[in-house]
Each structure stands twice: as C-alpha cells, then as structure tokens.
Amino acid sequence: MIGAMIAPDTPRPRAPISRRADYRAFRLITTRWMDNDVLGHVNNALYYSFFDTTVTGWLIERDLIGLHDGTMWMVAETSCRYLSEVAFPDVLTIGLRLGKLGNSSVRWELAVFRGEADEASAEGHFVHVHMNRQTRRPTPVPDSIREILATMQI
C-alpha cells in the first residue's frame, strides 16, 4: 500500500518512512465522520489541520502562543507527503519535532501515525514565523523561547 501511494514518476530518492522514535512530542487526534471524503478516507486538506492542531496545541500548553504579549505566529509554508490511507474511525497520533530554528522562524516536522502503527502514514513540515502582531512583520524569537524550542530537536 505504502509504495503505491508514492508518486511513481518522481526521480529523486525518497527518504525512508519515519517512525515514532523520530519525533519528540505527540498529540492524539480522533477522526470524525465528516473527515472522510467520497473516496472513504480522510481528505488530504485535513492532515494540515492535524499538523496545525499539534503545533498550536504544543505552543498553547507551554504558554508560547503569544497574542496577549503583542506577538503571534503566522504560517509561511506547509507540505505533506501522503504515504498510506487513514479513515474514520481511526485514532491518530501526530508526531512533532523541531526541524530548524531560524532567527524569527521555526520549521516544524510532523508525521501522522494510524492507531498503533510505528510507520508514518503521512509526513510533512510547517514553517511558523514569529511576528509582531501590530506591524505584522517578523520579529526575532527571544532566547527564553529558543531554549524551550531547542528541546524539541531530535
């Protein structure tokens, strides 16, 4: 199944499929009946809601979401590679790790795990930019936050 889903005409060698041990934090997501589309599997757009929920949930739980202090995180870029299907009523676990910590941006890397599976059903990335909420311009990530983010590196 998994091989079948990889775009077969892509010339560049594919990275090996990641496993749970490749991630640092995890979030449980229950699927919903409405997530399944006509093909009977979770629609491709919703994987980004799972990524978004995992990153934002992690930030909220550590009080790093900003908003009240005049900063905010804005999404600059996302991607997802779909490896095998998931469908309601699957319970999913989303893995999260820090990919790269820039001056004012963070590259998060994520994966979707179905039920008890150890191999990812999907992998993606999510670039967050730390912004001044008023000016909507990038602002450096302060050292106090960098320290916490750094713990998410694998």
Q: Which two tokens stand for residue 11?
A: 């010339």
61 binds a copy of itself (CB under 8 A): yes
150 binds a copy of itself (CB under 8 A): no
Site for a copy of itself in 68-97 (CB under 8 A): 72, 74-82, 88-89
**Strands (DSSP E) found in the chain:** 25-30, 71-82, 91-101, 105-114, 122-132
12 binds a copy of itself (CB under 8 A): no
Q: How far apart are CA 34 and CA 50, in angstroms?
A: 14
Work out whether strand 91-101 and strand 122-132 pair parallel, antiparallel, or are unpaired. Answer: unpaired
The 3-state DSSP class for residue 68 equals coil
Closest CA to 126 of 65, 82, 77, 59: 77
Q: Which is nearer to a copy of itself, 51 or 113 (CB)?
A: 51
Among 16-24, 34-42, 111-119, 144-152, the segment contacting a copy of itself (CB under 8 A):
34-42
121 binds a copy of itself (CB under 8 A): no
The residue ranges that bind a copy of itself (CB under 8 A) are: 1, 4-10, 28-30, 32-34, 36-40, 43-53, 56-57, 60-61, 67, 72, 74-82, 88-89, 100, 102-105, 107, 127, 129, 131, 135-138
